Chains A and B, each alone.
Chain A
């Protein structure tokens, strides 16, 4: 009986895969969607050095400083440092209000304001300041400009301190010389990344896991909805096949499809975004399979409770979008505020993303990720235990 049940499941899975192969549109869409998602996110969230078209408005009131008959402007040196190794461009404005109006209308991304005594104060050994006006509605861009301006400020400050200390050292006779580096930064923090990588190495594993979840959530549901609408499920259920075998076959074919889909995505991110997969391949595959399995039950439940594909799609969107934003796919969970962080902790995708990222990025062993894998498995098993009887009741058959 078990052999017959397994054989029936394989027959159903094989038919599903033949149908997929015979439907070029569905086959192409199966790959286009994940590829599109990966490419969009890959290009939307690049490393910070690749911002293009950043435009800064400058109000330069710096009156300079006369040095040996020549007027020196430190503001120009500062702007050169900001521009260094980037494509940032500058536009001059005569007043702050004019520049703010340009920032509000989106013509510029930020404003740098130099006071008239910017150079003179610096040269005379007094602290000076400039104002940076940013646009907080574009946080990644704001962060990028802030980093460039801070770096320029550090370099310029170091040069000023260097000059001042050298001059001072030459005047100190018989006393220990002052190390300008000590004056600039008495405590040096040396940040050492545990591995080389960029932001895509963070979102890449999250996106792959998200796509697995979507496959689990939608594929079985849409396949069953299609069978319901075509009436083919009635013909299958009128044959001597157990509902369990039918559902197992459906899940099997969705699993094969999803794994092929994931493999394509993995190849794509390796070649296009140079993402490195440091973990054990079998462990990564196991987490992906659990990711798909984890959401099959939920997808089945939604399908059983809805009358057509359109309604199930609407309901599935309600599941999908909170998971996308709250499961640590795009940003670390530490960034989420209190209650939202608590919600994230009960979302199964959070654990899938966490485990997959740990294995992909840090080569974490099974001993570190098994609790997350267990949560995914339990979620999948419990949701199937709930979904299958609902499916059977809705179908009206007890076998």
Chain B
């Protein structure tokens, strides 16, 4: 199987509002694939559909050959997702949080404990494993989130704004880890507003605006089309325009906040 993700005319509508309009994508195994777009462009909706959190209105998609609707549980077993918001239980210790999420993947206790210890060691959190997560800094929480998504040894990672709000040292650390994970053969789907991160990390990027796929190519090719010294930011503005998107963002977020 050459592709980790295949999306075919994937569409999501919230009432009259079309968040994603017939998006077709093929993401290769082992690729770091950046999804870019302004606020409310439809990135998070696309990720939510691919990670089985919401059902598409029409179209199909598969992750590692599993249909996102019929094989939703299989999809979830094979992916790791980091959302923009850190998702750990603050009163529980780091180890208790990891143990809880690990058990949901059906990993036996002994093996899980081994993976937790290794993960905490790799992300330099071992000495904090018995501390409640509520006492952690944002950087520590983000590192712990990465330990969590690695527990089930997924083949596909979805990382939604993984470096937002972090200090430069932690950003550098996380970017290195993303590359390390990719080197182990995993496919990474990355959404970010930081063009430099997307440029540095991504093998290919897709630009989405108003729910439509505007472009999909390597950062190098996209920049080349605009001229010799063009940056990815120039590419972004070229496709998305300079209009502020406050109203559009409000419209697209509202229906998704049901959960």
Contact = CB atoms under 8 A, between A and B. Distances in A.
Interface of A: 4, 8, 11, 15, 18-19, 22-23, 228, 230-242, 304, 307, 393-399
A235 B101 contact: yes
A228 B257 CA distance: 9
Nearest to A236: B104
B110 to A, nearest CB: 16
A237 B259 CA distance: 10
Interface residues of B, number: 36
Contact of A233 (B81, B88, B259): B259
Contacts of B92: 15, 18-19, 22
B105 A235 contact: no
A8 B103 CA distance: 8
A15 B100 contact: yes
Interface in B128-187: 132, 148
A188 to B, nearest CB: 66
B191 interface: no
B132 A22 contact: yes
B83 A234 contact: yes
A71 B85 CA distance: 91
A110 B92 CA distance: 60
Interface stretch (B34-42, B50-58, B219-227, B231-239): B50-58
B96 interface: yes
Contacts of B258: 304, 393-396
B77 A396 contact: no
27 contacts: A8-B104, A15-B89, A15-B92, A15-B96, A18-B92, A19-B92, A230-B87, A230-B90, A231-B87, A233-B259, A235-B87, A236-B101, A238-B52, A238-B76, A238-B81, A239-B76, A239-B105, A240-B77, A240-B104, A307-B257, A396-B48, A396-B53, A396-B256, A396-B258, A397-B54, A397-B55, A398-B69
A241 B104 CA distance: 6
Nearest to B81: A238
A78 B42 CA distance: 86
Given A4-B106, A11-B104, A399 B72 contact: yes
Contacts of B105: 239-240
Contacts of B73: 240, 242, 399
Contacts of B148: 235
* 3 shortest interchain CB distances as A-B pairs: A235-B87, A396-B54, A394-B258
B241 interface: no
A4 to B, nearest CB: 7
Interface string B244-259: 0000000000001111
B65 interface: no
Nearest to A4: B106
Contacts of A399: 52, 72-73
Contacts of B52: 238, 397, 399
Contacts of A19: 89, 91-92
A393 to B, nearest CB: 8
A395 B55 CA distance: 10
Contacts of B87: 230-232, 234-235
A240 B76 contact: yes
B111 to A, nearest CB: 16
A395 B148 CA distance: 22
A232 B259 CA distance: 11
Given A231-B85, A235-B101, A238-B52, 13 more contacts: A8-B104, A11-B100, A19-B91, A19-B92, A230-B89, A234-B259, A235-B88, A238-B51, A396-B55, A398-B55, A398-B72, A399-B72, A399-B73
Contacts of A241: 104
Contacts of A234: 53, 83, 85, 87, 259
B19 to A, nearest CB: 11
Contacts of B96: 15, 18
A81 B69 CA distance: 82
Residue of A4, A230, A396 with highest tally of chain B CB at under 10 A = A396
B103 A11 contact: yes
Nearest to A23: B91
A395 B100 CA distance: 21
A25 to B, nearest CB: 10
Contacts of B83: 231, 234-235
A220 to B, nearest CB: 15
Contact of A395 (B51, B74, B101, B259): B259
A2 to B, nearest CB: 14
A239 B104 contact: yes
Contacts of A242: 73
B91 A22 contact: yes
Contacts of B54: 396-397
Contacts of A240: 73-74, 76-77, 104-106
Contacts of B256: 396
Contacts of B132: 22
Given A239-B101, A241-B104, A242-B73, A397 B53 contact: yes
A231 B258 CA distance: 12
A103 B259 CA distance: 58
Contacts of A233: 259
A361 to B, nearest CB: 41
Contacts of B81: 235, 238
A396 B72 CA distance: 13
A236 B104 CA distance: 8
A4 B101 CA distance: 14
Nearest to A246: B104
A396 B259 contact: yes
B89 A394 contact: no
A228 B55 CA distance: 19
Contacts of B51: 238
B112 to A, nearest CB: 12
Contacts of A393: 258
Contacts of B106: 4, 240
B53 A238 contact: yes
Contacts of A239: 76, 101, 104-105
